[in-house]
Amino acid sequence: MAEYYLELKGVSKSFPGVKALDNVSLSIRPGTVHALMGENGAGKSTLMKCLFGIYKMDEGEVFIEGKKVVINNPDEAMKMGIAMVHQELQPVLPRSVAENMYLGRFPTHNYGPLKVINHKKMYEETSRWLKEVGMDFDPKLPLSALSIGQMQSIEIAKAVSHEAKVIIFDEPTSSLSEKEVDVLFRIMNDLRDRGVAMIYISHKMDEIKKISDDITIMRDGTYVGTWPAAEMTIDQIIARMVGRELTNVYPEHKDTPGEVLLECKNLSSIHEKSFQDCSFQIRKGEIVGFGGLVGAQRTELMEAVFGMRNIKSGEVYVKGKKVDTSAPRKAMNAGIGLITEDRRGNGILGCLSIKDNVGVSVYNKNLKAGFVLNHPKINSIVDDSIKKLSIKTPNMSEAIGNLSGGNQQKVIIARWLANDPDILVMDEPTRGIDVGAKHEIYEIMVELVRQGKSIIMISSEMAELLGMSDRLYVMCNGHIRGEITDQAEMTQEKVMSYATQF
């Protein structure tokens, strides 16, 4: 058996104005988990898309078990034993779990010249693969009934069902609960025992140290090096990723909060199993965290505050005045902004440029004669945002779909900063973002509260919640179970005690 099951040699890839990959090589041993790390824009996902046939590499070669192969598209990649769990989900929500699992490869009956989908076999096979990975979902359940984390679990089961020899995991735990992460790692350990080679992309350092055998680091589209995971400390990984020492990941912010900017009283959803009787306050110049386990209804509560969900009862006050937030436009007029958890689903405008994605929030404020866009003014706003947030792009006309996940997130933040809200809800603001970019976003958050704005932050990362929050509300099963105001009491144990009060 060859030492390396999969090898990429001298891979280069350019987009208009950007060299995304420059002579990158990667070698993966069978039966190992190989972590691929780097800041957003380092080229990790681009390299994997070249391997999987989504992008055509400009230069480079791919070898499987020492034999050179050419992969022109994902279908060819899967036939060669390569599967991929993508960072950005693209589910077909109205269809069932089974139909999403077998999309593009439905089992069929032959009736003469006709082929008809064999639903019985599809449901049986889906059930088998779901049980194989410890996920007991009904194969006939519409995918829309599942959470984003559960949809991610379906994608993982789908990759395993291909019985691939190489599986690429691109940020697979970004939407998973701690329990679901444990299930994923059990699956990965089983696959490793079977000799499967896995490429694992994640920005979560504790996961990398826990699951990886080897670590390859990329920076600015180039190969930095490969090391045994056991020989690397987290500080060494970070330093090699960003090319510098990075200390104080969570910047200090000890400004004294002012008057109450936002007050929500007894908000209840029209759905009994969602949030009920929730009351909270947000003061000027503070970051308020919302903690809780997956399914606690934090996102649903904040979407209701922003007018994306209907409420049965309750009141919202901004600066002491009762406001109508029954629609997003009304919430925006009241000075509320929302950065959503699902970046691809309802965050970016995927087919448009960076300019359009940032400018859409201020087009109505920059008109000539009341109906003609003031492009010089809009260009100035967008250009300033690109510089302030260090968005890696050749120009503002670049399609947002060509950016890395982290840079897409920065564009969404820029959109809201351009709109200048008093209260900004940030739902998983650093999901899928590397440690260097996280620090930049934290500094932006701190600067905003210093300017007197208020931030509500929902995060599934405990360290982030504790490191950035001035105060914490903790939810469980649709109810706010506790508020932590004393920094000395803001501990993981305290948060979890509230988060499990069913």
3-state SS record for 123-189: HHHHHHHHHHCCCCCCCCCEHHHCCHHHHHHHHHHHHHHCCCCEEEEECCCCCCCHHHHHHHHHHHH
- pLDDT band at residue 100 under the 50/70/90 scheme: confident
Residue 230 lies in a domain: yes
Residue type, 423: I
Q: Where does a domain end: 178, 211, 242?
A: 242
Q: How many CB atoms lie within 10 A of CB 362?
A: 17
Residue 292 lies in a domain: yes
Lowest mean pLDDT segment, chosen from 15-19, 270-274, 392-396, 452-456: 15-19
C-alpha–C-alpha distance, residues 229 and 427, integer Å: 31
- Residues 1-12 have a mean pLDDT of 88
Domain check: are 84 and 199 in the same one? yes
Q: What does the pLDDT read at residue 276? A: 96
C-alpha–C-alpha distance, residues 5 and 77, integer Å: 14
| H or E segment to which residue 374 belongs | none
In terms of residue numbers, what domain contains 39?
6-242
Q: What does the pLDDT read at residue 89? A: 66
Domain check: are 62 and 135 in the same one? yes
CB burial of residue 3 (10 Å; 0-12, 13-18, 19+): exposed
Q: What does the pLDDT read at residue 183? A: 79
Beta bridge partners of 219: 222
Domain check: are 282 and 152 in the same one? no
Domain check: are 231 and 299 in the same one? no
Asked if 498 and 481 count as a contact pair (C-beta separation under 8 A), the reply is yes
Q: Is the per-residue pLDDT at 22 higher than 70?
A: yes
Domain check: are 180 and 325 in the same one? no
Which tokens in the block code for residue 379?
Answer: 């260009």
pLDDT digits (tens, 9 = 90+) for 275-314: 999 999 999 999 999 998 877 999 999 999 999 999 999 9
Domain check: are 229 and 302 in the same one? no
Output Rg (C-alpha) for the chain, integer angstroms: 24
Q: What is the dihedral of CA 11, 15, 18, 24, to 10 degrees?
A: -10
Residue 252 lies in a domain: no
- Strand order across the 82-85 sheet: 82-85, 166-170, 197-201, 33-37, 214-219, 222-228
Q: Up-side HSE of residue 289: CA atoms within 13 Å toward CB?
A: 24
Q: What does the pLDDT read at residue 58? A: 94
Helix axes 405-419, 435-450, angle to 10 degrees: 10
Backbone angles phi, psi at 230, to 5 degrees: -65, -20
pLDDT digits (tens, 9 = 90+) for 111-152: 878 888 888 899 988 898 888 777 778 889 888 888 776 787
* CATH number (domain holding residue 306): 3.40.50.300
Q: Is the per-residue pLDDT at 213 higher than 90?
A: yes
pTM of the model: 0.61
Share of the chain above pLDDT 90, in %: 38
Helix axes 148-161, 119-132, angle to 10 degrees: 100
Q: What does the pLDDT read at residue 493? A: 85
Contacts of 62 (CB under 8 A, 6+ apart): 6, 7, 8, 9, 51, 68, 69, 70, 71
Domain check: are 224 and 275 in the same one? no
Q: What does the pLDDT read at residue 502? A: 66
pLDDT digits (tens, 9 = 90+) for 374-404: 888 888 888 888 888 778 888 888 888 888 7
CB burial of residue 301 (10 Å; 0-12, 13-18, 19+): buried
Q: Is the per-residue pLDDT at 104 higher than 70?
A: yes
Domain check: are 11 and 118 in the same one? yes
C-alpha–C-alpha distance, residues 251 and 253, integer Å: 6
Helix axes 178-193, 148-161, angle to 10 degrees: 10
Domain check: are 56 and 171 in the same one? yes
Residue 114 lies in a domain: yes
DSSP-derived 3-state class of residue 192? helix
Domain check: are 196 and 157 in the same one? yes
Higher model confidence: residue 114 or residue 41? 114
Lowest mean pLDDT segment, chosen from 83-97, 137-151, 232-246: 232-246
- Report which of 421, 492, 491 is spatially closest to residue 452, judged by C-alpha positions: 421
Instruction: Please give the tally of structural domains in the chain.
Output: 2
CB burial of residue 104 (10 Å; 0-12, 13-18, 19+): exposed
Lowest mean pLDDT segment, chosen from 222-236, 252-266, 351-365: 351-365
Residue 356 lies in a domain: no
Q: What does the pLDDT read at residue 187? A: 84
Q: What does the pLDDT read at residue 57? A: 93
Domain check: are 66 and 155 in the same one? yes
Residue 379 lies in a domain: no
Q: Is the per-residue pLDDT at 245 higher than 60?
A: no
Q: How many CB atoms lie within 10 A of CB 450?
A: 11
Residue 29 lies in a domain: yes
Domain check: are 23 and 118 in the same one? yes
DSSP-derived 3-state class of residue 395? coil
What is the 3-class SS of 17-62, one letter each residue? Answer: CEEEEEEEEEEECCCCEEEEECCCCCCHHHHHHHHCCCCCCCEEEE
Q: Is the per-residue pLDDT at 247 higher than 70?
A: no
Q: Where does a domain end: 186, 211, 242?
A: 242
pLDDT digits (tens, 9 = 90+) for 319-372: 999 999 999 999 999 999 998 886 666 777 777 889 888 888 777 777 787 778
Which residue's structure tokens are 């089974």? 98
pLDDT digits (tens, 9 = 90+) for 186-208: 888 988 998 999 999 987 888 88
Residue 390 lies in a domain: no
